[in-house]
């Protein structure tokens, strides 16, 4: 329990993971964000050091969680030149939680080894509430030895480890995550079409959702997003922009593997369209704005953010 823990990227996910580990008695020594005020606020809340630079994070932590947006952000914080998490990184362990292209993880693992550091993927298939409660579904990829060294920390994020799966070498967790989200996005976009058609036919959507839940139409996203689609409550758990990105990663893998994926392609096009028309910040349930009659011409009234 003595390791100094750092967080890079303390948006809604990262901040809640940091809070959770703090609650569990860990030493959250340092936090950083590319929005300095965000980092300073969280640092005040947790009694951590608000690092002004990436090198400053490395100087203050042994185990560093990175919870950034995408491949580009990841390449920025692990740059080969300038301010970088590789500065003075010898012996450090990086746990990378963003959904990235699998190749980025394998590249990173290679560069880390050269810098004398270690990396682990911890891809998350859950959202903000779960981060706060320590009930994230974690898919772990990387060197098993590294995994064993920090497992005692990760279990506190994943319901005593009940929700954690070691899936293989570096890049494997990112593949798994991309697959999960590809299928989730298909189910979400498909549900939005079903409910929109039901609505247009004048069926009662409460009854429709109840019937769906009892039949072959049942799915996790029906439970998490069905009512939100009906009520146009698209406050963000998992944004349409992220959905578009993750389906895009999966489809790039599919193209490379020569797998025909027309349904995933159609779902990806829907989430990409949301981004294109300025709805990318809505929750993925917002895909219903593209399918329901009379919606989508304007943004729905801003609902307050869920925590």
Interaction site with its own copies (CB under 8 A): 125-126, 137, 139, 163, 165, 167-168, 172, 175-176, 179-184, 186-187, 189-191, 193-194, 196-198, 200-201, 203, 207-208, 210-212, 214-221, 224, 238, 250, 253-254, 257-267, 269-270, 290-291, 293
Of 51 and 253, nearer to its own copies (C-beta) is: 253
| Minimum separation from the CB atom of position 262 to its own copies (A) | 5
| Minimum separation from the CB atom of position 67 to its own copies (A) | 18
Of 1 and 257, nearer to its own copies (C-beta) is: 257
How far apart CA 236 and CA 304 sit, in angstroms, is: 9
| Minimum separation from the CB atom of position 285 to its own copies (A) | 12
Of 1 and 201, nearer to its own copies (C-beta) is: 201
| Minimum separation from the CB atom of position 212 to its own copies (A) | 6
Alpha-carbon torsion 219, 168, 144, 3, what sign?
Answer: negative
Helices 262-276 and 172-200 pack at an angle, to 10 degrees, of 80
Cβ-based burial of 226 (10 A; exposed 0-12, middle 13-18, buried ≥19): buried
| Minimum separation from the CB atom of position 20 to its own copies (A) | 19
Are 240 and 247 within 8 A, CB to CB?
Answer: no
Q: What are phi and psi of 48, to 5 degrees?
A: -100, 170
Q: Return the structure tokens found at 270.
A: 């829907």
Of 39 and 163, nearer to its own copies (C-beta) is: 163
| Minimum separation from the CB atom of position 99 to its own copies (A) | 12
The SS3 assignment for 5 reads strand
Of 2 and 214, nearer to its own copies (C-beta) is: 214
Q: Return the structure tokens found at 12.
A: 């809604």
Of 120 and 254, nearer to its own copies (C-beta) is: 254
Helix or strand run (H / E) with residue 295: none
Cα distances from 70 to residues 9, 114, 174, 213, 304, in angstroms, run: 11, 23, 12, 34, 25
């Amino acid at each position: 329990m003595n390791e100094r823990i750092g967080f890079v990227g303390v948006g809604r996910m990262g901040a809640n993971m940091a809070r959770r580990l703090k609650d569990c008695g860990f030493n959250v020594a340092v936090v950083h964000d590319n929005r300095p005020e965000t980092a300073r606020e969280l640092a005040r809340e947790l009694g951590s050091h608000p690092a002004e630079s990436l090198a400053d994070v490395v100087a203050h932590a042994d185990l560093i969680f990175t919870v950034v947006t995408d491949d580009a952000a990841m390449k920025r914080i692990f740059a080969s030149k300038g301010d970088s998490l590789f500065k003075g990184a010898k012996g450090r362990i990086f746990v990378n939680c963003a959904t990235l292209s699998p190749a980025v993880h394998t590249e990173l693992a290679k560069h880390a080894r050269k810098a004398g550091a270690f990396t682990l993927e911890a891809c998350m298939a859950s959202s903000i509430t779960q981060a706060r409660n320590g009930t994230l579904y974690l898919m772990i990829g990387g060197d098993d030895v590294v995994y064993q060294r920090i497992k005692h920390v990760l279990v506190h994020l994943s319901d005593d480890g009940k929700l954690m799966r070691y899936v293989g070498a570096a890049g494997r967790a990112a593949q798994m995550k991309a697959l999960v989200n590809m299928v989730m996005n298909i189910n979400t976009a498909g549900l939005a079409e079903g409910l929109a058609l039901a609505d247009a036919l004048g069926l009662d959507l409460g009854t429709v959702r109840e019937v769906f839940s009892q039949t072959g139409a049942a799915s996790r996203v029906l439970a998490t997003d069905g009512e939100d689609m009906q009520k146009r409550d698209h406050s963000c758990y998992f944004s349409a922009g992220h959905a578009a990105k993750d389906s895009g990663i999966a489809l790039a893998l599919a193209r490379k593997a020569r797998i025909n994926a027309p349904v995933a392609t159609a779902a990806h096009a829907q989430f990409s369209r949301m981004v294109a028309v300025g709805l990318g910040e809505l929750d993925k349930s917002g895909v219903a704005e593209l399918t329901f009659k009379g919606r989508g011409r304007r943004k729905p009234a801003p609902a307050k953010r869920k925590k």
